[in-house]
Structures are given as C-alpha cells and as structure tokens.
Structure 1
Amino acid sequence: MLPNEKIDQRPLLINAEPDNASAEFYRQQVAIHGSPLLIFNAQVLRNQFKALQSALPEVDLYYAVKAHPDPEIIHVIDQLGGGFDIASAGEMNLLLAHKISGRRTIHTHPIKKDQEIRDALRFGATTFVVDNLHELKKLVPYRSRVGVLLRVSFRSAAAMVDLSKKFGCAPEEVEQLVKDADDLGIHIKGLSFHVGSQCTDASKHVEAIEKCHQLMQEINATANKPLSILDIGGGFPADYELQGIDINAFCAPIRAALAQLPQDWHLIAEPGRYLIAPAVTSVTTVAGKSKRNGYHWYYLDDGIYGSYSGQLFDHAIYPLEVFRDGEHYPSIIAGPTCDSIDVVAENISMPELEIGDLLIGHQMGAYTAATKTRFNSIPDAKLIVIND
C-alpha cells in the first residue's frame, strides 16, 4: 500500500470535543472494568424488539441465539416474552440455565445427529426444521413427539450472507417431501425459509412468502393434515451505515404479503442481527503505535480474532469513533495478535491517536463476540450491561 491510495470510505465518526459526555462515559467504564469492553445497552434491545413487533404485529418473534449467545441478552429477551431460535445443544444449555422452557423454542438446524434430537426432546423442544428425506427418516422414532417445518431455499444475491446456499430444499421438491413425510408417519406442520442475512430490501421475503403460500394451499387441497405454520426467518437489517433504518417501512411489503395468508396460520420470524446489533458497543484501547511506509499504525487490545471477528465471518464493517480532532493522516488500525490478518481498518483517514486513547465500534452486537476465537490466548472483551 502507498499513502496516495484511495482512502477507505467506511464510516468513521470523529468527535470534535474530546471531553464530551460520550467520551467521558467510555473512559469511566474502562476505569471501572478495564479494556477491551462490550457494552450491552438493554434498553436498545427492548426498543428494537418492540419496533419489530410493531412492524410485524401478527408474527411471533424467536430471537436467533446464535447472533449473540450471552446470558444477559437471553435474560432481556425472556423478559420481553420472546421465543428462541436454537441450533445446538450449547444454545439449549444456555436457555436451561435461565429455566426457559423448550416449548418456547424452535430447533432450526436442518441437520442433526440422533443425540442432538434426543437432547432437544428432553429439553422440551417440539418444533424441528428439516430440508431433506434423510433428516425426515431420523425423526421416525420420535414422530409422535415432534412438529416439523420443511425449509425451502430462496437464494438472494442482495443479502450480505446467503443462507439458502447450504440449507433448504428447492420449491419444486416440497410436495414430494411432504408426501414422503406422510408415508413415514411424520406430520409436516408448515414451511420455513431464510432469505439471507442483512437484506437490503424486503422483495425476496415477499417472493418467498407468496411462493410458500401457493405451495401450502396446493398441498392443503388434498392433505389429511393441513400445513398451517410459516416461518419467515430473519434478514432484517442492522444500521451499519448509520443512516437510520425505518423497520416499519422495510416490513410494509412483508405485512402486505402476510395479509394474504389464511388468518388461522401461525406466523414465526427468527430475528437476530436487527435486534442485537445496535445494542452492543465495543470499547478498545490503543496499546501501541508506529509509523511505517507513510501510514500511522495503531494497535488495539481487541481485533479480528476478538470482537471484530464479524468483519471476517459476517462480512460486516462497523462504524468507528475516536475522540481526537485535528489533521487527518492515512492510518491502519490493527488488533493485538501476532497475525498480520488481524487488521480492523486499512488506509483509513483519521486524526493522530495516542497510546491510551479509546476507539469505539458501534452496531457490534451481532456475530461479533459470537464468532470470536482465543488465538494467542488473548482474553475476551468483558461484556457489561447498562440500562438493565
């Protein structure tokens, strides 16, 4: 890289007054708890949950535990009366620790070992997702105890993460799989889909709802036990560009499509990112600095192998904030490990920082701490709760 390369356009928020209330708040938290930190604002999660409830009033919300499986977050969702979308024994154990009934969950991983099925049934889960005949056959020994949703694939080029590449049957396979399930004595209760994570608009949701509506109506015309559940998955976007997302407007086409369904159908959604992303803020400290090849390098105490892991695994770029003003220089922000891939931001224009300065990452609740590693045995960022 050379200093005259194009400056990265990722969002960077610069505070003109280093001693403003926001800066002082973060400094106080670091003084009390150390650094790095993840600050979970429980009120933001409550607001997000209620906003999505209002935007999809006929839909039951099941928090995608995988987005951020922290006990404090589970506690708030429990208080709000939300359900839980789980995909592993570890996530079940987390809910068990909070005495949350398995009846408030849906097990959405389409591929399961027999032990995982038995563990889920022991936990009290009764709704399972499958997408092929092999998985249906695994449920035969438990067919009197399970309700099954058949996952359908709807690929979306507009989604940040394509979640129909790895899972989901083709729409044209649905009718035969329902017949296969009936032959096995298994009741398919409905269909599910996930059009991808961080969708830019709701058009793929609408397409999937309309197609599932058609499929379910065609099957119900001759079925002994009708399909009556539709799980519309997640994909509701987080505001990584800080432009303000009107979730009511985003969901308006979805509401219109859902309004065409029979009123007695049970509707489910699996939000994760939209709920938790804005509720968690990262606080890191500049542990070292240098100047090399025309760039100012800053080394943080958290990075790509820690709270910023979502930049690798989730394809997300987080808004950054520093509490310095002045002339800007081409800069590189790196994490604490000895691996050269551990770089949070490259070729970014920012004022000069000093050792001990703080860097704040916003919208960092989803798929950040959830995908962290323990490379170099560096401790995790400590999660603290405010507005509980």
Structure 2
Amino acid sequence: MSVHYQYINAEQGTKTTIPDSLERLVKRHGTPLLIFDADVVRQQYCALINALPEVTPHYAVKALPFSPALKILHGEGASFDIASSGEISMAERLGISAKQCIHTHPVKKTEEVEKALAWGCRQFVFDNSHELTKLAHYKNSVKLLLRISFPNPYARVNLSYKFGCTVEEALPLMEQAKALGLNVNGLSFHVGSQITDPERYVSAIKTCKKIWEQAKTLKLAPLEILDIGGGFPVDYTAPVAGINDFCAQIRAALHSFPQAQFISEPGRFLVASAMHSISTVVGIAQREGRPWYYLDEGLYGCFSGQLFDKAEYPLAIPAKRLLQPKEPSVLAGPTCDSIDIIRDGIELPQLREGDLIIAGGMGAYSWAHATEFNHIPRTQIVVINDIEPLPSTGTEY
C-alpha cells in the first residue's frame, strides 16, 4: 500500500511534486537519497527557451555539477557557463564543445586562463583593472565581457557584492582594455539570485544600453554580446510567477536594445525543481520539553543550501501523521555538530522512527555544497525519467 505525503511548510499552489516511485526507490537504495527527474530539467529548459526565445541559455554548472544534468541539457541544445578548471574538465569529459561555453569567473588564476584556452574556450569575463593586466598576455586569444554591478538588496544572494564594476567604471575599463589591445565584445550582469521582480533586469538592460551606445560612439569596442545573467525564480515554500509572465518585461526591454547576441546564465531555474531529497527519522529524543527528530541527512549534506543559499525547502511527511496534533519540534541532521539543525521550532505532529521526510526543490546549490563531514558519504543521486541509461550516483564533478 502506497504512503501519501503532504507538504507542511509550503503555501498552497507550490508546484513541487513527489515522484510516484518513491517507495520503490527507497527500498532499493535506502536513505538518504536524492531523486533527479530528467523530465523536469527538459521541461524547465523548454519553458525558459519559450519565455526568452532570443536569449541563448548557458547553464551555470556550479548550480548542480552532476554529469547526467549536463548530458541532458547538452542533448537539448544548451550552452554552458563554466567558472573553474574542474568544471572545464567535467565538460570536456562529457564531450561538450568549448565553443558552447563561456568562462564567467571575473577573477582567475593564470593557470585557469591557460587551461580554458588550451581547451578552446575564448570568451571570458572581467570586472577590474588588475584582471585586464593579467589577460593582456593573451590578447590575441581572448574575447571579454565586462561585468557591470547592479546591487540588489532584495535578492536571495546579492551577486553584485563580490563582482562587477560600477557603471562609472565601465567606460574607463573599456578604454584600458583597448589600450592593451584586448577585445571587449560585450557586457554582462547578474541582478542576483531568486529574483521576484523582473524590473531589476529591465533597469540593468537599460543601463547597459547607455554604456553600449557610449562605447560605440567612442569606438572603444566592437560590442556584440549582452549577457543578462541568471536569477530566474522557482517555487520553494511559496509560489512565484510563471516564467513566461515573469520574462514579459525582459523581452520588451531586449526588443529595444541595439542589435546584439543575447545570452543568459540560468542555474537554479533549470535544476532546482528537478530533485527531491528523501531522508529517514533515525532517532527521537525529548529535549527541554520538545521532541527532537534526528534525520540521516542534514546541513553538512544536501540541506547545506540553507546555509550557503539561504534556501527554505518545502518539507513533506506521511499524510496520516497530519491527523495528529502539532507541537513545536526540531529536525536535526546526522552529524555530531550542534550547528546541524534543519528546522528549529517547526510545528510537527508526532513522528516515528523510520518515517520518511521529503524535501523538494533540492536540485540547485544543495548537493553541490554538500560535504563528507564526520566521514558521512555524500548522498546518492538516482536519475529517473531519462531517455537513455545514465549513471545513478553523483560522485564526480
């Protein structure tokens, strides 16, 4: 008899679903377990292409550096955003062409640049004068996108805090690049992670348009590419706007932009909803009048996204438990560290040892952050709904 599960911290309308094959997969593989749904990745990629038909998505590998994810997106025709030598090696092993990739890290070691060039990647990003001096040694080989900073306090992660030049610095940096013989062929920006207001993109596009036109007037660079970054929102514990409606203002802004090649760097949007975590209640205790439920997955594992990505994942428990009264409880992870608390004060009915806890939206910045602290192995990933057989465990970057 199948056990039904119900979300306890997600608003009605959240789109995350629980795979029908859950019990079979748990029986076969045990827990903790991650279920990666290939169909969801394809659906998300198709939705983004339809929402922004003039923009070429470059999947941000850092969101989920899992070989089957890259294979699926490669099969769909995606390009890739890589930011390290390790990600280059992964793409190379999978047969992804360097011509489909851009290297988006604004600050790179010389060895990183040389590895990318040896592979065949020519498109890089910069945002400061020192980086230009470094890249001048490769002026006959590299093309550069200048990353502009657009700080956004409303983003889940403000990606203009660490990288991006100010608007005022843009033209002087392009002048320096020209003096060094470097080819700046475009502009880029990232307005932040999990954005809910498309006006942030619109404002950035309008500002880039002004810089673009000034640079062309001053003959500073043969600009060709505008990279609008990532940050497109997905459902977690509350529903967000559909991607087509969300992108309506972005489409309009791009239509008024000078002729250019438009690209983006989606990560979360493509993979977040494609993965579920399944963990088991392995221990129960009463501490200071509250029940504590210890799971075999925690903050040092796939719930690391709560620390690094400020994520709150929708959690589901056996629906039959919800017939019982709730009380403030604690969900704790499996390590010996007291920081390893998944939820403190969450209202839960009485759970039992062996109950399964399901977390949705775990595809982005969760497994990618996970460690093997306490010598607990990283969680196994099982791929479902794929066209051809793929590795069932995620052990390589």
Q: Tell whether the structures are fold-level matches, with TM greater than 0.5.
A: yes
Q: Structure 1 stretches of 5 or more lacking a match?
A: 1-8, 14-20
Matching residue of 1:342: 340
The alpha-carbon distance between structure 1 residues 12 and 328, as it changes in their structure 2 partners (threshold 3 A), is farther
Matching residue of 1:295: 290
Q: What does residue range 32-43 of structure 1 map to in structure 2 within 5 Å? A: 32-43=28-39
1:61-98 Cα shifts (integer Å, max 9, x gaps): 00000001000111111111101101100111111110
1:244-264 Cα shifts (integer Å, max 9, x gaps): 53111111111111010123x
- TM-score normalised by structure 2 residue count: 0.91
2:329 partner SS: strand
The alpha-carbon distance between structure 1 residues 110 and 24, as it changes in their structure 2 partners (threshold 3 A), is closer
Matching residue of 1:306: 301
Residue 26 (structure 1) shift: 1.8
The one-letter code sitting in structure 2 at the alignment partner of 1:238 is V
The alpha-carbon distance between structure 1 residues 378 and 180, as it changes in their structure 2 partners (threshold 3 A), is same
CA contact (8 A) 1:132 1:169 kept: yes
Q: What does residue range 200-215 of structure 1 map to in structure 2 within 5 Å? A: 200-215=196-211
1:175-199 Cα shifts (integer Å, max 9, x gaps): 1111110110001001100111111
Matched, 1:182 2:181: no
Residue 243 (structure 1) shift: 2.1
Distance 1:240 1:132 in 2: 35
Identify the range of structure 1 (38-47 vs 27-36) with the bigger mean alpha-carbon deviation: 27-36
Residue 276 (structure 1) shift: 0.6
2:245 partner SS: helix
Matching residue of 1:16: none
CA RMSD of aligned residues (A): 1.6
Residue 296 (structure 1) shift: 1.2
Matching residue of 1:58: 54
The alpha-carbon distance between structure 1 residues 362 and 224, as it changes in their structure 2 partners (threshold 3 A), is closer
The alpha-carbon distance between structure 1 residues 211 and 99, as it changes in their structure 2 partners (threshold 3 A), is same
Distance 2:362 2:370 in 1: 12
Given candidates 350, 375, 378, the residue that maps to 1:377 is 375
Q: Once the two structures are aligned, what percentage of the paired residues are identical?
A: 49
Matching residue of 2:271: 276
- TM-score normalised by structure 1 residue count: 0.93
Matching residue of 1:3: none
Distance 1:238 1:53 in 2: 16
Q: What does residue range 150-161 of structure 1 map to in structure 2 within 5 Å? A: 150-161=146-157
CA contact (8 A) 2:102 2:123 kept: yes
1:105-160 Cα shifts (integer Å, max 9, x gaps): 11000001111100011111110000011111111121111110000000001101
Q: Structure 2 stretches of 5 or more lacking a match?
A: 1-7, 387-397
CA contact (8 A) 1:294 1:330 kept: no
The one-letter code sitting in structure 2 at the alignment partner of 1:314 is D
Given candidates 243, 258, 263, the residue that maps to 1:262 is 258
Given candidates 183, 187, 192, the residue that maps to 2:188 is 192
Distance 1:215 1:387 in 2: 45
2:114 partner SS: helix
Distance 2:215 2:266 in 1: 28
Residue 308 (structure 1) shift: 0.2
Distance 2:299 2:136 in 1: 43
CA contact (8 A) 1:10 1:317 kept: no
Distance 1:383 1:224 in 2: 48
Distance 1:189 1:22 in 2: 45
CA contact (8 A) 2:298 2:332 kept: yes
Equivalent residues, number: 372
Distance 1:187 1:300 in 2: 53
